[in-house]
Amino acid sequence: MSISRETPLPVLVSLQGNVQSIDMSIDLLEGRTKTSIAVLLSQFMKAFMPKLLSTIKQARKVNTRKMSKEELLATLLSKIMPELEAKRTIEKIISEGAFTLSELIAITVFKTLQNLREDQIHATSYHDNEYEEMLMLLKRLDIIKPRLQVSICPRCANYLLAISSYPPHSAICPKCRSEWVTITLYTIAPSLAKLKIENADLPVFISAYLKTKLMGKVFTDIKIHPNAVLNINNKKAEIDVYIPEFNMAFECKVFENAGARLTRSRLHSIIDKLKFKIETFLKIGVNKIVIATNLPSKSSEILENILRDIITDKYMKDVDLKVIPGDEVTLIETLDNIINSLAEIISKKISKSLRISFEGS
Ligand SMILES: [Zn+2]
């Protein structure tokens, strides 16, 4: 069992518990595996060797009658086999051998996954707990699924290897009730298929994605609010995703029959609804607007151009407006671009404030 470190498989690895605590258990399990194999071998040889030697001696005498190789082997086996069977040595070897093998597999899987995880964390420059946080969010949003899990107990060296999409979830060793260490391999759902634009969780996904990725880049907690409700002039206004610090807002708009032809009347009704929303955003000082839709890319392009013209004409304002069509790839690309530009602004701000404090001192 091995997973190549260069694996192109989109996988993530979660680690729960104190991994240093199980060093002894791993040594013990590995040691137990080695010693029990050695013990088994010596038991086997003890039972086997005297009989083998005497049989060979006898066979040599008999061999003066020029036995064929096959005959010699048959004689040896006929003398040795009953002895082995009587002692049930073979069953013992098979059952104990399988047992030690599963220990070895569990440890190998654990170590392989641990290396994979360390490589990923190193490559993404995430902090350990940020990586876990991102994983939990992705899991909650059904974007990743568990495939393989190994738990090892630091106290009694009990272990559990589960190949399952629904592995047992326990932070505690069932044998001695100690807190044990669990490593889980997750695979990403093919092409983020779960991330349907129709999904009501879209604001939650967008905020989680922005938050975790930004944290990984700039190490500051930026306030990002999914499904925010604001009170504007005594009227309630809903914002799907609101980032006050950057005057940025997301509107997630799902249309029925999104694929239908964009007729003039249909276009007008869509524009009217969005125009109202954009005006609300402008009232609270938002000047970066992203509208995530389930429209085909041609329609979203038309919509973006018309909306931008309307805003520029009516408000004489420079508004950064983007309409995203209903495909995951464009959505992720757009979010990644936003993350990069926000990260740049943040690091500029940080270096500026550092400079000011230097000059001030
Ligand atoms: Zn235990």
Q: Are 222 and 186 within one domain?
A: no
Q: Distance from the CA of 171 to the center of ligand 1, in angstroms?
A: 11
Q: Are 176 and 210 within one domain?
A: no
Q: Distance from the CA of 180 to the center of ligand 1, in angstroms?
A: 7
Q: Distance from the CA of 178 to the center of ligand 1, in angstroms?
A: 5
Give this prediction's pTM. 0.49
Q: What is the pLDDT of residue 181?
A: 95
Is 285 within a domain?
A: yes
The total domain count for the chain is 2
Q: What is the pLDDT of residue 1?
A: 33
Q: Distance from the CA of 140 to the center of ligand 1, in angstroms?
A: 29
Q: Are 206 and 67 within one domain?
A: no
Q: Distance from the CA of 113 to the center of ligand 1, in angstroms?
A: 21
For residue 108, with 0-12 CB atoms within 10 Å meaning exposed, 13-18 middle and 19 or more buried, which class applies?
Answer: middle
Q: Distance from the CA of 28 to the center of ligand 1, in angstroms?
A: 13
Q: Distance from the CA of 227 to the center of ligand 1, in angstroms?
A: 44
Distances (CA, A) of 121 to 14, 20, 218, 290, 345: 11, 18, 15, 30, 24
- Which of 105, 129, 106 has the alpha carbon at shortest distance from 117? 129
Is 4 within a domain?
A: no
Per the CB < 8 A criterion, the answer to whether 10 and 147 are in contact is no
Distances (CA, A) of 18 to 119, 130, 180, 181, 333: 18, 16, 8, 6, 36
Q: Distance from the CA of 27 to the center of ligand 1, in angstroms?
A: 15
Q: Distance from the CA of 29 to the center of ligand 1, in angstroms?
A: 13
Q: Are 227 and 331 within one domain?
A: yes
Q: What is the pLDDT of residue 60?
A: 62
Q: Distance from the CA of 94 to the center of ligand 1, in angstroms?
A: 26
Q: What is the span of the domain harbouring residue 232?
A: 202-360
Please list the alpha-helical segments (H only) found in 128-180.
Answer: 128-140
Q: Distance from the CA of 30 to the center of ligand 1, in angstroms?
A: 16
Is 1 within a domain?
A: no
Q: Distance from the CA of 159 to the center of ligand 1, in angstroms?
A: 8
Per DSSP (E only), the strands in the chain are 11-16, 144-152, 159-163, 181-188, 225-232, 235-243, 248-253, 288-293, 320-324
Q: What is the pLDDT of residue 8?
A: 38
Domain boundary (164, 190, 216) is at: 190
Q: What is the pLDDT of residue 295?
A: 87
Q: Distance from the CA of 291 to the center of ligand 1, in angstroms?
A: 52
Q: What is the pLDDT of residue 224?
A: 85
Q: What is the pLDDT of residue 167?
A: 86
Q: Are 139 and 42 within one domain?
A: yes
Q: Are 173 and 27 within one domain?
A: yes
Q: Distance from the CA of 175 to the center of ligand 1, in angstroms?
A: 5
The residues facing 252 across adjacent strands are 292
Q: Are 178 and 54 within one domain?
A: yes
Amino acid identity, position 196 = K
Is 78 within a domain?
A: yes
Q: Distance from the CA of 25 to the center of ligand 1, in angstroms?
A: 10
Q: Distance from the CA of 68 to the center of ligand 1, in angstroms?
A: 56
Q: Distance from the CA of 98 to the center of ligand 1, in angstroms?
A: 21
Q: Distance from the CA of 19 to the center of ligand 1, in angstroms?
A: 14
Q: Distance from the CA of 26 to the center of ligand 1, in angstroms?
A: 13
Q: What is the pLDDT of residue 248?
A: 95
Residue 297: CATH number of its domain: 3.40.1350
Q: Are 122 and 267 within one domain?
A: no
Q: Are 57 and 141 within one domain?
A: yes
Q: What is the pLDDT of residue 242?
A: 93
Domain boundary (158, 190, 222) is at: 190
Q: Are 183 and 207 within one domain?
A: no
Q: Are 233 and 111 within one domain?
A: no
As a whole number of angstroms, the distance between CA 189 and CA 32 comes to 38
pLDDT along the chain (361 residues), means of 10: 40 85 82 66 63 65 60 64 57 58 77 82 77 80 79 90 82 93 79 46 77 74 81 82 92 79 84 89 90 89 91 80 86 89 86 66 49
Q: Distance from the CA of 179 to the center of ligand 1, in angstroms?
A: 8
Q: Are 28 and 93 within one domain?
A: yes
Q: Distance from the CA of 16 to the center of ligand 1, in angstroms?
A: 15
Q: Distance from the CA of 182 to the center of ligand 1, in angstroms?
A: 12
Q: Distance from the CA of 4 to the center of ligand 1, in angstroms?
A: 30
